[in-house]
Amino acid sequence: MFKKFKINHYINYFVIAVALIVFAILSFTGGIDNSTTLLLERIAISIILAVSLSLVVGFLGELSLGHAGFMCIGAYIGGKVSALLAQTGIGDGIGNLIISLIVGAVAAAACGVVVGIPALRLRGDYLAIVTLAFGEIVKTLFQNSSDNSFGGLSGLSTPRYNKTTLFIIAFVVVLLTLAVIQNFIRSKHGRAVTAVRDNEIAARATGINVTKYKIMVFALSAAFAGIAGVIYSFSQNKVMYTHFDYNYSIEILVMVVLGGMGSINGSIISATLLTFFDEKLRLWISQDFSKTQLAQFLTTYVIKGDLAVFKDIIYALVLILIVIYNNSPSLKGLREKLNLKKLLSKLFKRKHDPSKVKDDEARWDVVPTKIEMDEVLSTDVVIDDMGDNSADIGERGGNK
Amino acid sequence: MEVLEFILSVIVNGLSQGGIYAMIAIGYTMVYGIAKLLNFAHGDIIMVAAYTIIVTVNTSMPIGVSLPLSILLSIVICVLLGVAIEKVAYKPLRGASPLAVLITAIGVSYLLQSIAQIIFGTAPKMTAKLDLGAFKLFGVPVKFSAIITLVITVLVMVGLTMFVKKSRTGRAMVAVSEDRGAAQLMGINVNKIITITFIIGSALAALAGFCSIIEAPSVTSTFGSMPGIKAFTAAVIGGIGSIPGAMLGGIMLGIVECIANKIPVIAPYTDAIEFSILIIILLVKPTGFLGKKRREKV
């Protein structure tokens, strides 16, 4: 039955399930406080968003800057459904939650199909700007909705789910998301999607229905973003359109990119860590740091704004430094010297085996994104690669 | 008479708003064409320019001195900032994955916004000294600021077109955007050209900042992001990488925005309409109006 049971494929379920059980027990015995459960809810939402965006960016290789737009649809539609259901006999329990989740997911998936259609004609930056535009359009529509439909400027009031159990449900949804997305990636459909990413023309030539897979991936990714939105609406008393702005889409993208493109586990880890540090850093600055002499000096002489903004500055700096360190061609030597895996293998006297490449892990430097900065970059990188150059010449005589 | 008023105000306001977008879009498109990166921090350079102008104008100097000084100062600061960003954040990543560069650009944009927020706070910073007043043209009130913006836009566009077509540096820029490797072999200093591109882009952003500040003199830390995104869509509509395309796209967007704002029923949906136009245009003509079609490698 388990012909190719690989522990690596299932380790993330185990870790999340164990964490869930531990926290659930703690929560029922009163071991964790309110702020921790709120943080756990946020982490679960971030993980769902990051994993679903990773499907588009890491596996389909298209850049999406409108993920928050799908989440917005889920939050508003799901929130509205739950508010309506709460008035009927169903109440605001688990049944309400499940129906809202399904409706929110379907609504977002439908929009995913709509965005997926331009993806057939556009690629790279152009598609990125279309997704960005989509996110803004969605936000504007909800912003200008009438008061008794979606609340308009004052936001949509939604029932707040039971505080102590919502994070458990959220993590169960995380597990479901992982199950669906990981199985999708490892199925023949997922292989087809990565083939489209690596070379669309070659994939088409081998008989892969590119149209179908592109729309499928956009719809699937949007559906889970919608689910994250519904959970968000259950974790709030009010859904505000301002939450789903362009910066939020970027934040999700940052999680995916920092986790490593095409790595689900990387997305999970970075989503967890970023959300965790985001919260902790905010707390640290507002409680501990604000009492220090430096902070007093800054607030009296330099700063007019809130000290909490320091969090954003640190966040931005860390982001820039990590990306430059990870990607700069001139820092390659340093990176190889400080490679964690190599250091570990040296420590344990294991030989490095280059033939062992994990099958669904894409490497940073070879990730084929469709933002083709085309020939210019390729001359920089593969100037002495005769094979590539001759292919280039041959192609000019071809029929393209 | 009402029709005439409508048309006249759309022409004046649309062209001036479009001129602002065009100036920002040129910065996007030039950097994209030459350095092959989407400079997401471009919108925030406008914000820096706007803060610089407001702070300078709000000092006790007479407006006749402080206004020219503020424009000059904003251009200098923006140029220095643009070059610094290029050297520190983008240059180490030359040759790296485009997505990595994009994320860095986003990081820089975030950084600039937070620094502005921590220095100036979240409340908008305003000035009363930059209200230039209005006059009547055929019974239609026209702001002086719109006329100034129009003049600046025309000057910038003519100057830039001449620069790119006639000067050695300008033609070197075209060469680099066509084929960086070949341009390098012809003895063009690519690094210098990229720096010059950032200088021009940032200076235009500073001018755009000035034009938007005389239109509505109130600045927050996100002052530049919406015009930035819209100018970016303008650049894409015109065909990214093409300077005339950016001008065309910017002015088109400005006029559409102006018309939509004049009709009360659809005015709240202006942003949605603009972005929908972008999507439709891209679906019909995927490379924008004046963009070049790229060959697809097999």
CATH number of the domain bearing residue A236? 1.10.3470
Tell me, yes or no, whether B214 lies in a domain. yes
Domain-embedded: residue A366 = no
Rounded Cα distance, A307 and B263, in Å: 42
Whether A108 is in a domain gets the answer: yes
- B207 part of a folded domain: yes
In a domain, A46, yes or no: yes
Of B284, B291, B286, B195, which Cα lies nearest the Cα of B240?
Answer: B291
Same domain, A330 and A182: no
Please check whether residue A360 lies inside any domain of the structure. Answer: no
A145 inside domain: yes
pLDDT of residue A273: 92
CB pairs under 8 A between A and B: 186
Give the mean model confidence (pLDDT) for residues A379-388. 41
- Quick check: is A112 in a domain? yes
pLDDT at B251: 93
A307 and A209 fall within a common domain = no
- CA atoms B258, B262, B268, B269: torsion sign: negative
Instruction: Please report, rounded to a whole number, the percentage of residues in chain B having pLDDT higher than 70.
Output: 98
Helix (H, G, I), strand (E, B) or coil at A115: helix
B56-97 confidence digits (pLDDT tens): 988 888 888 888 999 999 999 999 999 999 999 999 988 887
A313 touches chain B (CB under 8 A): yes
Q: Which residues of A79-105 are buried (b: 16+ CB within 10 A; e: fewer)?
A: bbbbbebeeeeeebeeebbebbbbbbb
Task: Note whether A397 contacts B: Cβ–Cβ < 8 A.
Answer: no
Q: Which domain holds residue A289?
A: 283-347
Give the model's pLDDT for residue B168: 93
Q: Tell me what pLDDT residue A366 has.
A: 52
| Count: domains in chain A | 2
Same domain, A295 and A272: no
Q: Residue A78 half-sphere exposure, CB side, CA atoms within 13 Å?
A: 37
Cβ of residue A63 closer than 8 Å to a chain B Cβ:
yes
pLDDT bin (cut points 50, 70, 90) of residue A316 is: confident
Nearest Cβ partner for B118 among A122, A129, A303: A303
- Verify that A253 and A224 share a domain, yes or no: yes
How many distinct structural domains can be found in chain B? 1
Statement: residue A33 has pLDDT above 90: no
In a domain, B15, yes or no: no
- Count of C-beta atoms within a 10 Å radius of residue B60: 5
Ranges in chain B, pLDDT < 70: 1, 293-298
d(CA B59, CA B69): 11
Residues A318 and A188 in one domain: no
Contacts of B32 in chain A (CB under 8 A): 125
Residue A371: pLDDT over 50: no
Whether residues A217 and A306 fall in one domain: no
Q: Is A252 on the interface with B (CB under 8 A)?
A: no
Write out the two tokens for B226: 């919406």
With CB atoms and an 8 Å threshold, state whether B93 touches A257.
no
- Whether residue A310 sits in one domain with residue A192: no
CA dist., res. A134 & res. B279, Å (int): 8
Q: How many CB atoms lie within 10 A of CB A337?
A: 9
Tell me: the pLDDT tens digits for A129-147? 889 889 989 998 998 888 7
Is residue A372 assigned to a domain? no
Question: Which pair of tokens denotes residue A269?
Answer: 């880890």
Let me know whether A75 and A60 are in one domain. Answer: yes
B4 falls within a domain: no
Q: Do B100 and A303 touch (CB under 8 A)?
A: no
Separation CA A393–CA B123 (nearest Å): 58
Q: What are phi and psi of A31, to 5 degrees?
A: -80, -15
- Which neighbouring-strand residues pair with B125? B219
Domain boundaries, position B83: 20-224
Within 10 A of A153 (CB to CB), how many other CB atoms are there?
A: 13
Does residue A175 carry a pLDDT above 70? Answer: yes
Asked whether residue A241 is assigned to any structural domain, the reply reads yes
